[in-house]
Structure formats: structure tokens, C-alpha cells
Amino acid sequence: MRDTTQKSLYHSSVPGKGVVPVSMLIEVWGDYACFSRPEMKVERVSYDVMTPSAARGLVEAVYWHPGMRYCIDKIYVLSPIRFTNIRRNEVKATLLSSAVLSAVRSGEAPALYTGQEIQQRAAMVLQDVHYVIDCHFEMTENAAPGDNPGKFQDILRRRLTRGQCYHAPYLGCREFPACFREWTSGTIPAIDETRELGWMLYDLDYSDRENIQPKFFRARLEHGVLDCRNPEVVR
């Protein structure tokens, strides 16, 4: 295993508050994970490594505030990348908002009879995953006058220590819960593996709520580290 030390010392300049460090290291692990490739339509197939958007969603499950925005810098892979195949019962239908609205107007209770809509689907998922998420956050225009990076960092660190979260963090799918805590052990023992990961989902562009667009980037695992800083993204 290759030892990889933390080098990120991101700072955010806040008017009237000076320069405050806002970098955090968060350790996450679990028995299974599935970061689904969007090009696989029939059966679920996971990316080799956690995606930046999945990492951001996991951290937001622990703490989120409209006055801050998480930025994923690096994802360290601590366990060997292993796949396994499983079969799961999934519901093939969804309850449309139009059906709910129609049912409410008619005085009926909207329902989806899952017993009639179940189908088995195979999935190629990751097994025994272990990551360290290196992230920082930036202030947004929705921050209140009393908000500052130091305050948000203290709240996030406290919630990580206590195991608090808004909803249970998961590794790609809600069936795969994630354990989490702050990484405080210094050197990060990332695996000594380098490979091209191809096109990977970076995030979703919510600038137009009526037309949400995915963003992709060319991902490369370098000695067990996925560098997500300032990638060239395509839509």
C-alpha cells in the first residue's frame, strides 16, 4: 500500500472574516456500494470508484446549509477494488406526480401496488469499500451575516464525531448504508494502483431546473487517489 499524505489546505476569504481553513477529511466505508453507470440501462453496473457527486451527496447527508457549497477535491481508495454480482427485487413502476394530483382531486388515496410491479434485476456492485473524501466548502450568496467557514467546519466536525446526519448516508443506493467519521489518523494509506477510469459522472448542472444536465469528466486513479479538482467537464 502506498502512503499518501494530505496536501490540501484550502481557504476561503470572507469579507470581514479574514482567511479561514475549511478543508475536511471524511472516512466512509461499507459492505457494498453501487455508483451506477448511466450508460447501462438494463442492469446496474457500478463505476470502479465513488463518483464526486456521490461523495458530495454523502457529506450533505451529514450536514448541509444553504450558505455553503461542498467541493470534492480528492477521493482516496483504501481498499482493493472488488466487484460482485447480486440480484435484487426492484419496483419497475413509479408513482407519477400527475397520478398523485389526479388522485387527490378525486378524493382517492394515491397508491402503488408493489406486489404487482416487482421484478428481479442483476447488479454488479462494489464489495467492502473504504474511502477518504477530501473536500472543502465555499460560502454562497445565501449565507447569513453571521455565517462563516469556521462555524460550518465546527458544526460538521461535531456531527461527524457524534454520528449525526439528516438522513442515513449511503453508497450509491439506499440499500447500501455508509459508516462515516472524520479522518484523524494523519497519513492516508491509499492503495498503490493506477488505472484509467474513462468517462465518469462528475455532477449534475442545476442552473436550469427545467433541464437538468449531467456533467462528465475523464477520471484517472493515480496511486489510489482520484483527483477531482478543476477537471475539464463535458455535458
pLDDT tens, position by position, 166-190:
999 999 999 999 999 999 988 999 9
| Average pLDDT of the residues of the chain | 86
Residue 129 counted as domain residue: yes
Residue 117 counted as domain residue: no
Q: What is the mean pLDDT of residues 17-29?
A: 73
E strands of the chain, at which residues?
11-14, 18-21, 23-33, 44-45, 68-77, 83-91, 118-139, 170-171, 173-177, 179-182, 195-205, 213-222, 225-227, 233-234
Categorize the per-residue pLDDT at 212 as very low, low, confident or very high, splitting at 50, 70 and 90: confident
Categorize the per-residue pLDDT at 137 as very low, low, confident or very high, splitting at 50, 70 and 90: confident
Q: What is the mean pLDDT of residues 210-219?
A: 91
66-69 contacts at long range (C-beta below 8 A, 24 or more positions apart): 66/140, 66/142, 66/143, 67/139, 67/140, 67/142, 67/143, 67/144, 67/147, 67/152, 68/137, 68/138, 68/139, 68/140, 68/143, 68/147, 68/149, 68/152, 69/137, 69/138, 69/139, 69/140
The C-alpha cell at 47 is 463505476
Amino acid at 193: E
Categorize the per-residue pLDDT at 7 as very low, low, confident or very high, splitting at 50, 70 and 90: very low
CA-CA-CA-CA dihedral for 168, 138, 14, 66, to nearest 10: -50
- Tell me the C-alpha distance between 31 and 152, whole Å: 30
Nearest to 131 by CA among 5, 2, 22, 26: 26
What residues have CB less than 8 Å from 66, skipping those under 6 apart? 140, 142, 143
Residue 51 counted as domain residue: yes
Q: Is the pLDDT of residue 201 over 60?
A: yes
Question: Which pLDDT does position 81 carry in this prediction?
Answer: 97
Structural domain boundaries, residue 195: 11-87+125-234
Q: What is the mean pLDDT of residues 12-31?
A: 68
More confident residue, 121 or 170: 170
What's the total number of domains in the chain? 1
Question: Which pLDDT does position 21 carry in this prediction?
Answer: 44
Q: What is the mean pLDDT of residues 45-62?
A: 96
- Tell me the C-alpha distance between 191 and 176, whole Å: 22
Residue 165 counted as domain residue: yes
CATH of the domain at 37: 3.30.70.2660
Question: Which pLDDT does position 207 carry in this prediction?
Answer: 82
Residue 71 counted as domain residue: yes
Residue 3 counted as domain residue: no
Residue 106 counted as domain residue: no
Look at the block and give the residue holding cell 464489495: 127
Residue 5 counted as domain residue: no
Give burial (CB, 10 Å; 0-12/13-18/19+) of 223.
Answer: middle
**Helix, coil or strand: residue 29:** strand
Which range has the top average pLDDT, 48-62, 94-108, 135-149? 48-62
